[in-house]
Structure 1
Amino acid sequence: MTGYARAAGAVSGASFACEVRSVNGRGLDIRLRLAPGFDALESDIRQLVGKMISRGSVTLNLSVEREGAGGDLLVNRQALATVLAAIDELSGRIPAAPPSLDGILGLKGVLEQRDRPMSSDAEEALAAAILDGVSQALVDLVLARRHEGSQIAAILRERLDEIETLVQRAEAHPARSRETILAKLRQQVADLSADITIPEERLAQEALLLATKADIREELDRLTAHIATARQLIASGGAVGRRLDFLAQEFNREANTLCSKSNAVELTAIGLDLKAAIDQLREQVQNIE
């Protein structure tokens, strides 16, 4: 399910902003982009996300602005030593003018801007405020996902109604009756040759055998049971996406069997319409938690 939420806050010496968004996913995939220096919060943030969301691809961005940011400019002596060693090694081997001081200091990594340090108490207060902000953003995200979920639930109910209507049409189709199969068998025998005479008892036996092979009673009963189960899951709410996904696979299995057993073009058409409705149901199921 998709959703977006944002939370911001501030403590003495710093402010922060947290953005969290989610898109559809088969499982729970958490991607964190934390401000430099806040990697220690990763485990706590992942636990917060896992408690509130069970399915979807979740991306959380955390940015932090400190008061007086960039106030201290320091020389990275290790990077500078590496640069000077490279200059000494290449000097005389490559015809070039000696590098200037501003050119060396302009190289990436030689000069670093560092924020002025905060007290340990201020750092702890900032970390606690960030976790509170993340929690609030996740609450808002869950609300957004629930709103979308209520809309998807209405679509799922429509698909289930469509599937139920098709099951009822298959249930009422006359091609399923032994009498219809017997009449069709008589006509086929008559079309072969008027001289062929088959005892009525033998025709009745063959009709019973064909009716048994074409019997879709079990498939229709299971489809009806699946419809009832799906409606109960949707009504119960919560994280039912995986269970509905499994149920959609069972729907599809029964529809395939119905088509393979079909003994009439009209019944096959109903089975194909049933498969199409089930595919639409399954596509929507992928969008819920």
Structure 2
Amino acid sequence: MKFLALQWLRFRMALSFFTRLPTGDVSNGNDEDFGRSFIYLPFVGLTIGIVISLLTPLLQFLFPPAVFVPLLLAMQIYITGGIHMDGFMDTFDGVFSARKPERVLEIMRDSRVGAHAVLSVIVLLLTKAGALYSLYQPAASLQGATLETVLHWITLWRWESGFYNSNGVNPLYLSLFWIPMVGRWAIAYGAGRFPYARQQGMATLFNKYIDEKVLRVAEWVTLIMALIMAGVYGLFMMVLVRLFVDRWGKKMTRFLGGLTGDIYGATCEMVEVLCLLLLVFLQKG
């Protein structure tokens, strides 16, 4: 019981740091608990996905797609406190500055927003909104979780595409549910795979206490979720995400000596967009 209580505390610490969702009192955790909470990032992503996918029907009922899709993005930003979006902006403000590594790190730490950050986040949000709009199907909706509907869902599953391309299943709901989990797994994977570029910062605790064995468990859980939601295509997406994070992490490590908290946030945002674009390709294909 003590072990489970400790893991529950660490999960709530991760949830309190990466979201605005209520978590209760987590002040009894120490630096090690905070550092090891990083491994629960995929489950934080899944929690975000559950909240957003449950609120989506209400927005869909109240507004047309051209309005409720931007509201979905606003809701995501509110729930996360914009922490990953802020990291994305800071990262591209520094990377696109064409300065030396030391200066790039200073720019990334600067709270002021530059033109490169604004342009980059505009492109990111437009691409994400366009992908979500493309996944929307007005005729498809989620049904209540009765035994009959659960059995019906099982019959809709296909080995090549999971629940995608199935009549009666809204791909937008599915994507909102599990893609945040993949984006946050990418952060955990990048933190375990590459060194930290700074000597100080809260993210140094994540890099210090990360556990490779536990990291593999989080990876397997995310992979299983991808297989359930998107079948073999989900497996293909996970392979592409891992290749992307490897490539991105190596590039940033050669340039800056490692990753930073801002780069973790940028990684999450880019992986989410990559996954959404792949799912749009799956739907249209």
TM range (shorter): under 0.3
Higher strand share: 1
Q: TM-score, normalised by structure 2?
A: 0.25
Larger relative contact order (CA 8 Å, sep ≥ 6): 2
Q: TM-score, normalised by structure 1?
A: 0.24
Give the structure with higher Rg (CA).
Answer: 1
Higher helix share: 2
